[in-house]
Structure 1
């Protein structure tokens, strides 16, 4: 038995059409996409408009999303706790890879690990929660920095570059080239840069507006990660895109 109210479901379907439209929509277009009669669509529009979910442009009689949705969206953002929201996704990634996974967030010009799940293996990599790093220092941090604007990146790299191993990047130009590859690929893979013998795979989490302020990474001993590198990359990227889409991101 279907427990969904068809009128409510159709109202939700109608409003979602505007997510992929950069323009206003009219009754005819909405009717075509929803496969409902114009009369039914008009009734839905009138009801939604009365509650502020839809508004009509009086000059061309076209419709767009109303300000009530903006209020609700702001309320969601106010109540949103990324660590809590992402935890089920972290557990799913951990189950799929058996390796250490963590959630990294930007705090001004630094990166901070805000949540983690330990590896299932006895030999494993670990990091303290709430530990801070420069935004260029780890795979997750660079996955955030890569999507900031040039002025922000220049500011981060204007300080002395800290190195952690003999393989750490030392020059701003070298780091910028790395950031460009992350933007192109949509993920980062690094070995030995933060800890020798360790490989990290990270990908960005996109906010609804496409900005990046967080990333997820999966980290483990290089000899265990490298043989399954392509599979692990797919798991990490899929996880961050799932989170991004759940947060309202419409890209990719």
Structure 2
């Protein structure tokens, strides 16, 4: 037995149609995309408009999403806890890779590991200190966040003294900028020895609905164990963050 109200389902379908359009739409176009009669679409639009979910442009009689949806979206974001939301994804990735998986978030000019999951039987493993604050240029996880910030912000971050952690850490601001450009082009960061010698990190950004990046997920482990399966780990990390980003409302690539 179908427990769905057809009117509610069609209203939801109508609203979702606007997610894939960057322009206003009229009754005829919506009717064609939804496979509904113009009369049915018009009734749906009138009902949704009365509640603020849809608004009509009086100049051309076209429709777009209303401000009530913006209010609801902001309410969701205020109530959203990324750590709790991401945990099942981290657990799955940790179980699959059998390495340490971390959630890193930006806090103003710094980065913090706010969660970490380890599901491994390996006697040799790498660990990170949760809630420790460090510069945005310092680790693969933080650079995966920094790479997607505004140019002026990146310039500001790299204008001060750059701390190094190993002989392989990059100190030159221009080299770090080149690295950030590469991260944006690839969509992920792979780093060995720059924060800890003998350790490799794979980090991928999490995109918010707006396209902003303020968090990343990373897989971290001994270099001699990670490099032989590097491509596989990259694919798994990218797939994980794509799913998280999509569920956060990101509609990009």
Q: Give the TM-score, by structure 1 length.
A: 0.97
Give the match for residue 177 of structure 2.
176
Give the match for residue 13 of structure 1.
13
List runs of 5+ in structure 1 lacking aligned partners.
none
Q: Secondary structure at the match of 1:16?
A: helix
Q: Is the 8 A contact 1:100 1:117 kept in 2?
A: yes
Are 1:217 and 2:206 counterparts?
no
Are 1:57 and 2:57 counterparts?
yes
> What is the CA distance between 1:59 and its match in structure 2?
1.8
Q: Is the 8 A contact 2:95 2:119 kept in 1?
A: no
Q: Is the 8 A contact 2:103 2:216 kept in 1?
A: yes
Are 1:131 and 2:151 counterparts?
no
Give the match for residue 42 of structure 1.
42
Q: Is the 8 A contact 1:200 1:219 kept in 2?
A: yes
Q: Is the 8 A contact 2:111 2:136 kept in 1?
A: yes
Give the match for residue 94 of structure 1.
94
Q: In 2, distance between residues paired with 1:192 and 1:3? A: 56
Q: Secondary structure at the match of 1:199?
A: strand
> What is the CA distance between 1:43 and its match in structure 2?
1.4
Q: In 2, distance between residues paired with 1:238 and 1:232? A: 10
> What is the CA distance between 1:5 and its match in structure 2?
2.0
What is the aligned residue count? 252
Q: What per-residue deviation string (whole Å, max 9, x for no partner) do you get for residues 186-210 of structure 1? A: 0000111111111100011111111
> What is the CA distance between 1:87 and its match in structure 2?
0.9
> What is the CA distance between 1:3 and its match in structure 2?
2.7
Q: What per-residue deviation string (whole Å, max 9, x for no partner) do you get for residues 122-181 of structure 1? A: 321111110111101100100000011111111111121111111111110111110000
Q: Secondary structure at the match of 1:111?
A: strand
Q: Is the 8 A contact 1:119 1:125 kept in 2?
A: no
Query: Pairwise mapping of residues 1-252 of structure 1 onto structure 2 (< 5 A)?
Result: 1-120=1-120, 121-252=122-253
List runs of 5+ in structure 2 lacking aligned partners.
none
Q: In 1, distance between residues paired with 2:174 and 2:202? A: 22
Q: In 1, distance between residues paired with 2:97 and 2:219? A: 8
Q: In 2, distance between residues paired with 1:87 and 1:9? A: 31
Q: What per-residue deviation string (whole Å, max 9, x for no partner) do you get for residues 71-95 of structure 1? A: 1011011111111111111112112
Superposed CA RMSD? 1.0
Q: Secondary structure at the match of 1:170?
A: coil
> What is the CA distance between 1:36 and its match in structure 2?
1.1
Q: Is the 8 A contact 2:104 2:111 kept in 1?
A: yes
Out of 3-12 and 180-189, give the one that drifted further. 3-12
Moved over 3 A (4+): none
Q: In 1, distance between residues paired with 2:129 and 2:118? A: 11
